[in-house]
Amino acid sequence: MATLDLNAINKSFGAAKVLHDISLAIKDKEFVVFVGPSGCGKSTLLRIIAGLEEATSGQIVIGGTDVSTANPVDRGISMVFQSYALYPHLSVYENIAFPLRVQKMDSAELDSRVQKAAGILQLTDKLHLKPGQLSGGQRQRVAIGRSIVRNPKVFLFDEPLSNLDAALRGDMRVELSQLHRNLDATMVYVTHDQVEAMTMADRIVVLNAGRVEQFGSPMELYHHPATKFVASFIGQPNMNLIPARVAGVDGSGVMVELDGGHRMALPVASTTVNKGDKVEVGIRPEHVSMGDSGLDISVNVLERLGGTSITYGTIGNGTRFCAALPGDAPIEEGRNLTLSVAPENCHVFDANGDVLRRQAAPEMVA
């Protein structure tokens, strides 16, 4: 298995620049997910790694070897596509064996690799069937089997679960995570689904309009989003973003006045803001609680899910606000509610959408 380094990758299609100076160092055996909205360039980046698309500039290094100009088959990668691309007239066995037949591998070695892959993917009793006799999830496993037998240095997945229904996607997420553990392989996985990214990745690359917004572990992105874009993309329900004004700054942080007049002293650095500037304060729905003082919310819609009550309403001059409260919380549609929020659970974004860095916690004095 291998490291994968992308050094200053740029890509243009004619006059349209779709990837801007992308540099990433992916570790050996890491499961890295590229996530972002439609058109942000994630498939193009994956195809450049695979050699199916040529970068306009930049370098791709796999396991220490520069493969930027190597043919796809010589890169030591294997790619699994959204459309399984199976041969309908061949059995499951022959579909999995296909790349090895192309390599003219001897039949004993070929059989041992196919049987091993089928065992890992629980397809051993399906090897004689044709793809048409399998479920969607089983077909996707055959496509993955065809990748495994080649013993690639790096596995690439391009939205492999998007043709499956919601329940099966959940099962396959778990299977892919197990597969990653079993194979101890470097994997790069493209999706627009933040739940897939959060649940499977060791680290996530959030792409926005061809640029890396942030590269970090799921919990780093959740707790310390670097930008408003990452903050609103990661986490379900989405983070609330409340228009606010800087009411004052000092060494200990920034005083903000939120839409609706509630003031909070937040322990963030004021490096890019001054008194009077407009900012946005991000608060996750799950980071509020019922309280006596804080945000006054007028409740419009209540969704009782059992364990949680998702509460939709407005604050101030109509800013929408969502709160995830306990399942049996005494809330009613059409009523007002006061929510308290801890300062350390607030994120402040400047006019460019960049987060104001948190102040280091003060040293404990004995």
Ligand X SMILES: Nc1ncnc2c1ncn2[C@@H]1O[C@H](COP(=O)(O)OP(=O)(O)OP(=O)(O)O)[C@@H](O)[C@H]1O
Taking alpha carbons only, the member of 128, 148, 152, 126 closest to residue 137 is: 126
Indicate the residue among 205 and 256 with the shorter CB distance to ligand X.
205
Indicate the residue among 173 and 223 with the shorter CB distance to ligand X.
173
Residue 188 lies near ligand X (rule: CB under 6 A): no
Instruction: Tell me the HSE value of 342 on the side-chain side, using a 13 A CA sphere.
Output: 5
Q: Near ligand X by CB under 6 A, which window of 34-42, 214-222, 297-305, 358-366?
A: 34-42
Q: How far is the CB of 47 from ligand X (least distance, A)?
A: 7
Q: Is 29 left (phi over 0), alpha (psi -120 to 50) or beta?
A: left
Query: Binding string, 6-25, against ligand X, x = CB under 6 A?
Result: -------x----x-------
Indicate the residue among 22 and 266 with the shorter CB distance to ligand X.
22
Residue 96: which H helix or E strand, with range? Answer: helix 92-102
Q: Which of 169, 192, 284, 287 binds ligand X (CB under 6 A)?
A: 192
Instruction: List the interface residues with ligand X, window 194-233 (CB under 6 A).
Output: none
Q: Which residues of 232-252 are buried (b: 16+ CB within 10 A; e: fewer)?
A: bbbbeeebbbbebbbeebeee
Indicate the residue among 42 and 141 with the shorter CB distance to ligand X.
42
Q: Near ligand X by CB under 6 A, which window of 31-39, 218-226, 252-260, 284-292?
A: 31-39
Where do the DSSP E strands lie in 251-287?
A: 253-258, 263-266, 278-283
Indicate the residue among 39 and 326 with the shorter CB distance to ligand X.
39
Residue 44 lies near ligand X (rule: CB under 6 A): yes
Q: How far is the CB of 226 from ligand X (least distance, A)?
A: 20
Distances (CA, A) of 12 to 9, 18, 19, 30, 305: 10, 6, 7, 28, 46
Q: How far is the CB of 121 from ligand X (least distance, A)?
A: 26
Instruction: Tell me the HSE value of 244 on the side-chain side, using a 13 A CA sphere.
Output: 30
Residue 50 lies near ligand X (rule: CB under 6 A): no
DSSP label of 123: -
List interacting residues with ligand X (CB under 6 A). Answer: 13, 18, 36, 38-44, 192
